Amino acid sequence: MIELETGHEVELEYGGRAEITGIIGKGIHDIVYIASYNGSQWALKWYDIEKLDDPEKMLSNLKENIADGAPNNKFMWPKYMTKKYSDGSFGFLMEMKPESFEYLSDILKGYKIVNEHETGRANKKNVKFSSLFSMTTAALNIVNAFRKLHSAGKTYQYLDDGGFFINADTGAILVGGCDHIVKEGTAKPLVGGMPGYMAPELVKGEACPDMKTDRYTLAASLFKLLFRGDPLEGKKVVNDVCLEKEEILRHYGKDAVFVYDPQDDSNRPVRGIHDSVMKFWETYPDYVKEIFTRAFTEGLNDPEKRVDESDWQTVLVRLRAETIRCPMCGRTNFAHFFEKADHKTYKCPNCREEIPTLEMSHRKWKTPIFKGAKLYECDVYSDSTDFLTVVGEVVENKLRSGYYGIKNCSDRKWKAKMKDGIFHDIDPGKGFPIWEGLEIDFGEVKAKM
């Protein structure tokens, strides 16, 4: 009993009815409907219990997750259980995905199919990040979702490219597939997961999903997002004409090889098939390639050596800070594509505009400073991991164009060295000019030009 008709009313566990008003999509073991409940629209996930391994366990896990609540408001968490039907069927209500969020799978493809309401015609619509900045922010948000989940003592059993919804303009994310989240240590071996997202030991059936297998899934998701391809799909895999169970077991389990493994070139990307991966591999700075190489060589078969959330965050925060938008001509690219005027100044290869940097006492790399650049809490307070809260912004002087300053958007007092050689207090909401002798005292972290 999986097909529910429009108009059908499903009884909820604690009273009330949700009326089916439409359909969102079909999954492997479920259909997701649109349902009207208490005057608003919800998504109703309704299981095909025949296809569930252990419906009773699924049900009790869902109830437990509902009782525990979501790790934060980025998770599209189960909210209300339905009553169980006499044949054992059940489902739950969760919030609807907002229109402004795209499926990760559509972002990876670069387009989505939209059905026009009036004509019913299907149209292809591009789905693209509006900037490098929003892409890096989405990657940071995915890392953070795993961090929140793990600190709540939970893990995924199963994740695929339907697992994330992304706002391509802002990089905000929502986590879907939350019915596959369980308490760490309680997951059973995985049946029928998506190979590209599964750790090799899961593909081989040698382990149960846990935080370490999640870290593989995290690395694979980030690789797909940044490189638009699969980290294990290269020459070796495409040479196999069909990917049946045995080949999948080999390429994603027993004999998995990273496409850019420095010690083993047997699985390099193939021109004409993996062009995105090849192009992006040339685009990212070395520190990004290094962390992915570590994730998919040492971390491939050794769960203890997987890259953890804080290491990903360190690298992605740097990548975001080192994405420069030239204030003169608007050229936007990673810092290593800009020329160097000297060891601490970038120069736009297009218009020759010079872009200064700030040297932060807790970092080995220098932060480019250009109009619109933002400083986040984790950039200026060494005890913070908050990569979203803006505490400073580079702004242009309202009275003198071409003159820039930094505005203190935080709630703490800073000190900055002005041209008189003296440190002045910079209260929240106030700013100070950028000049070649600038020094800033953020508290524990100091910065200088």
Which residues of the chain form contacts with Zn ion (CB under 5 A)? 326, 328-329, 331, 348, 350-351, 353
Q: CA 387, CA 310: separation in Å to the nearest integer?
A: 11
- By C-beta, is 150 or 325 nearer to Zn ion? 325
C-beta of 435: minimal distance to Zn ion in Å? 21
- By C-beta, is 28 or 351 nearer to Zn ion? 351
- By C-beta, is 351 or 388 nearer to Zn ion? 351
Cα 309 from chain centre: 11
List strand residue ranges (DSSP E) for 89-169, in order. 91-95, 102-103, 111-115, 122-126, 154-156, 164-166
Asked whether the beta carbons of 58 and 82 are under 8 A apart, the reply is no
Asked whether the beta carbons of 401 and 416 are under 8 A apart, the reply is no
C-beta of 350: minimal distance to Zn ion in Å? 4
C-beta of 306: minimal distance to Zn ion in Å? 40
Which positions ≥6 away from 356 have C-beta within 8 Å?
Answer: 344, 345, 368, 369, 434, 436, 449
C-beta of 347: minimal distance to Zn ion in Å? 9
Q: Which of 151, 150, 307 is nearest to 219 (CA)?
A: 307
Half-sphere exposure of residue 333: CA atoms within 13 angstroms, side-chain side = 16
C-beta of 140: minimal distance to Zn ion in Å? 26
Q: Which of 418, 216, 209 is nearest to 297 (CA)?
A: 216
Asked whether the beta carbons of 188 and 225 are under 8 A apart, the reply is no
C-beta of 405: minimal distance to Zn ion in Å? 20
Q: CA 45, CA 59: separation in Å to the nearest integer?
A: 12
C-beta of 394: minimal distance to Zn ion in Å? 15
- By C-beta, is 29 or 325 nearer to Zn ion? 325
- By C-beta, is 255 or 353 nearer to Zn ion? 353
- By C-beta, is 331 or 448 nearer to Zn ion? 331
Asked whether the beta carbons of 438 and 422 are under 8 A apart, the reply is no
Token pair listed for 362:
């807790």
C-beta of 330: minimal distance to Zn ion in Å? 7
Question: Taking the CA atoms of the chain, what radius of gyration do you get in angstroms?
Answer: 25
Kindly compute the dihedral angle of the four CA atoms of residues 217, 223, 225, 229, in this order, to the nearest 10 degrees: -110
Query: Do strands 439-441 and 431-433 pair parallel, antiparallel, or not at all (unpaired)?
Result: unpaired
- By C-beta, is 319 or 348 nearer to Zn ion? 348
C-beta of 369: minimal distance to Zn ion in Å? 15
Q: CA 171, CA 138: separation in Å to the nearest integer?
A: 4
- By C-beta, is 305 or 331 nearer to Zn ion? 331
- By C-beta, is 350 or 397 nearer to Zn ion? 350
